[in-house]
Amino acid sequence: MKKGQIIEGTVERIDFPNKGIVSMQDGICVVKNALPGQKVKACVNKVRKGKAEGRLLEIAESSCLERESPCPHFGLCGGCVYISLPYEEQLGIKEGQIRRLLEGVLDGQGAPWHFEGIKASPARYEYRNKMEFSFGDEVKDGPLALGMHKRGSFYDIVTVDGCRIVDEDYRAILACTRQYFEREHIPFFHRLRHTGYLRHLLVRKAAKTGEILVALVTTSQQERDLSSWQQALLSLKLKGRYAGILHVINDSVADVVQSDRTEILYGHDFFIEELLGLKFKVSAFSFFQTNSLGAEILYETARQYIGDLGTAQADGKPDKVVFDLYSGTGTIAQLVAPAAGKVIGVEIVEEAVEAARENARLNGLTNCEFIAGDVLRVLDTIDEKPDLIILDPPRDGVHPKALKKILDYGIGRMLYISCKPTSLVRDLEVFLANGYVVERAVAVDQFPWTSGIETVCLLGKPAGEGHEIQNSNL
């Protein structure tokens, strides 16, 4: 295969993330945004060591697995990639991706391990409790759009008022907001010129309580009275109820949803969600699993994997110390707390730590401590040695230097929860090099129809293994 060559072939499988594999006589070509069984045409744009990458030009023939998509935006929006498939087929694709990645690193670990497949999401549609919609236009100088980025484009926006992974309240709020600002002729923020007012619409809704938090994100380039927009939202007939409506000022050049200053227009700046019998106070920017019902499956699995922590106390009271690293708003820490003597959560986002502390008070938990800071540095300040470490890092995985400190504890068990399996596999290689083995693993479908997958791994260290660090890259 040569750069610029047009290839045609059938997609054999999908590797993570969203990589369609097409076998050719002289190697394989990776084509994104394709589905198993599709016959595709692609233009080769990169060739390296017999492996090529191609840009999808045309789906010459549909897969026999496909059905009519229930979403009118499928193929335009860059979000869902599997929504034209039956849900069971999507599950099978994701299970295969995780199995292949884990087998690639664990088949040589020298100890048996058990892969428990994939757990389905309780809700297949309308499961998201958070969406960040962008303002822009679908074509240059076109009408105001509010939604998701068009597939393969950094600038073009598709208005997703028929999106199937959010419920009708999201769709109503989106439509109302777009129509209001289009009618008022308010300009959106142009990412190239760095001029304009409207940037994002953040909507969060609790699955259990029905509370809704809305945040309009703008620049400070205009002074506007938003009371009529607020009233337009409040006049909508929704299934849920507003917890708060916010105006967030963000003058960052980067296309990120963040706050330089936040004004509460209505209610308050948080909502309450419930998971597994516990209540959680979630702010506009706090990390919280985006599929509440799926999160219950994920965290119940984590609790099951951890099992009974045991105790050394004669009265049977829990005495074990648990580290919850990258703890977010403290969800996992609080679910583990009843079985532990003490749980220490570490999270770099101060707002999330404050929320975690408030959540612990809300749930009457007194054995949880939450520390704000980088895991790499905070571990040096903690005197206690953990009996169990729970890792739930961001997409990039655990920082190598932080991983070294974690390994230095030399403890017998760890639980790793990953939202990006390729980062997980990279970190597992280091764990294996330092005497740990994976005992069991399972995937959880937290993000139906998208390429996202959560994976839970229980790691153990056979008795007698030392903990001298074996990876010089650490």
pLDDT over 70 for what percent of the chain?
A: 97
List, for residues 291-323, the tens digit of each pLDDT value: 999 999 999 999 999 988 888 888 888 899 999
| pLDDT given for residue 468 in this prediction | 42
Q: Which residues contact 18 (CB under 8 A, 6 or more apart)?
A: 32, 33, 81, 451
List, for residues 133-175, the tens digit of each pLDDT value: 999 998 888 899 999 999 888 889 999 999 999 999 999 999 9
Tell me the C-alpha distance between 284 and 216, whole Å.
Answer: 11
Where do the domains of the chain lie, and which CATH numbers do they carry?
6-61 (2.40.50.140), 92-122+278-460 (3.40.50.150), 130-275 (2.40.50.1070)
List, for residues 392-447, the tens digit of each pLDDT value: 999 999 999 999 999 999 999 999 999 999 999 999 999 999 999 999 999 999 99
Higher local confidence (pLDDT), 411 or 1: 411
User: What average pLDDT does the segment 98-102 reach?
Assistant: 96
| pLDDT given for residue 254 in this prediction | 86
Q: How confident is the model at residue 464 (pLDDT cuts 50, 70, 90)?
A: low
Identify the helix (H) or strand (E) that includes residue 12: strand 6-15
Does the annotation count 419 as an active-site position? Answer: yes
The answer to whether the Cα torsion of 361, 457, 351, 385 is positive or negative is: positive
Tell me the C-alpha distance between 11 and 40, whole Å.
Answer: 7
User: What average pLDDT does the segment 386-396 reach?
Assistant: 95
Q: Over 80: is that where the pLDDT of 276 sits?
A: yes
371 with 431: CB under 8 angstroms?
Answer: no
Tell me the C-alpha distance between 101 and 425, whole Å.
Answer: 7
Strands 27-32 and 51-61: parallel
| pLDDT given for residue 136 in this prediction | 95
Q: Over 80: is that where the pLDDT of 473 sits?
A: no
User: What average pLDDT does the segment 453-473 reach?
Assistant: 69
Tell me the C-alpha distance between 28 and 31, whole Å.
Answer: 10
Higher local confidence (pLDDT), 256 or 464: 256
Tell me the C-alpha distance between 104 and 98, whole Å.
Answer: 10
Catalytic-labelled residue, pool 29, 77, 163, 419: 419
| pLDDT given for residue 463 in this prediction | 67
The mean of the pLDDT values for the chain is 93
| pLDDT given for residue 191 in this prediction | 86
Q: How confident is the model at residue 465 (pLDDT cuts 50, 70, 90)?
A: low
Could you tell me the two tokens for 287?
């990390």
List, for residues 172-182, the tens digit of each pLDDT value: 999 999 999 99
pLDDT over 90 for what percent of the chain?
A: 82
Tell me the C-alpha distance between 276 and 120, whole Å.
Answer: 17
Q: Over 80: is that where the pLDDT of 470 sits?
A: no
| pLDDT given for residue 106 in this prediction | 94
| pLDDT given for residue 25 in this prediction | 85
